[in-house]
Structure 1
Amino acid sequence: MSLPSLSALRAFEAAARLGSFKAAAEALHLSPTAVSHHIRGLEAQLGVSLFVRRTRAIAATEAGLQLSQAATRAFSELETAVATLRDRET
């Protein structure tokens, strides 16, 4: 199985952290439809529901919580690595 795209994981992580597709879309400068599309694709690829969808909010499922924690750690490590590389060049 191939890894999900970074854009899908970024949309998912933002939605999980911010609690809504709309807030994630605003933070990422995307449309809510694009965020929803990324997350539905991610759910299809993984074969699990990542969120319980409510009228104006979302709540992560157990699988969503696990992926959210992993994605947050992974993005944090990537940000640290990029910052370290940039510091070397200055």
Structure 2
Amino acid sequence: MKKILAVTAATAGLALSGLVLPAVATAAPTGAGSGSQAAACSKWIDYTDRGRAHASCSGVDVKVYVKCANGRTYGSEAWRWGYNKAECPRGIGATSMSVQTR
């Protein structure tokens, strides 16, 4: 059974005077029931030269999707065991993320 979890970033990687604000993420499950596999994942968004969404989920395959400031959504290329990430294009910040597990 697949579960999906959406995470929104409060700061969305905004840059002010060359200063990138830290990401503050809150999680809201979009699948049925609490305690799902996706809810047990550690999820975070970082901002270096591009927005990146990461998820670490023990014992399951993981896919990650990141919504970027350009309005497009990008996903990890394949299912990976335990950890995965998705990236925005260089210079574009991330605004939210979602995680899918199986």
Q: TM-score range by the shorter chain?
A: under 0.3
TM-score computed with the length of structure 1 as normaliser? 0.26
Larger Rg: 1
Structure (1/2) with the larger strand percentage: 2
Structure (1/2) with the larger helix percentage: 1
- Higher RCO (C-alpha 8 Å, min separation 6): 2
TM-score computed with the length of structure 2 as normaliser? 0.24
